[in-house]
Amino acid sequence: MPKKTIKEGDKKILESLPEEFKEDKYIEVGARPWGVYYVLEDSPNYKVKKIVVNPGHRLSLQLHKHRSEHWIVVSGNASVVVRNCEDEAKWSFDLPPNESCFIPMNVKHRLANFGKIPLVIVEVQVGEYTGEDDIERFEDDYSRASGRNLLSI
């Protein structure tokens, strides 16, 4: 198993997590303003993550140019928004535990937790590149940029 990677700034956040979210079987962990993710598997054409979204938080409206994503809800209820690239169509739906959805590459999407308990999903990324910098953000509650212009839509 590869050596674990914990960024210095994430250590304090990780120490404050409830015990059930402290993992020992991960390759990498990333603390984010909305919660935390754990990389469980990282291979050349796919990556598997456990993602925990805190109650009342959501990820940015984003797309990925090099990967698609499969989300499986483990606990909590996910609120999902999917838009086509021209923003002509928008789909919003909820996913309860044991339900899943597929997000194709180059499709705008957002994951949110409007519930009262942490949302836990397993995310399987498939594509030629699965790096954390393959994110183009369009809306973000935490004012993060993506390396490209952050647009408000």
Rounded Cα–Cα distance for residues 43 and 67 (Å): 13
Distance of CA 108 to the CA centre of its chain: 13
SS3 state at 38: strand
9 or 149, which is more confident:
9
Close Cβ partners of 4 (under 8 Å, ≥ 6 residues apart): 26, 27, 28, 29
Q: Which pLDDT band holds residue 23 (cuts at 50, 70, 90)?
A: low
Average pLDDT over residues 30-36: 94
Q: What is the pLDDT of residue 98?
A: 96
Domains of the chain are 5-139 (2.60.120.10)
Amino acid at 23: E
Average pLDDT over residues 59-88: 92
Stretch among 35-39, 60-64, 87-91 having the lowest mean pLDDT: 87-91
pLDDT higher than threshold 90 for residue 101 = yes
Question: Among all chains, which residue has been given the structure tokens 């993602």?
Answer: 51
Average pLDDT over residues 59-80: 97
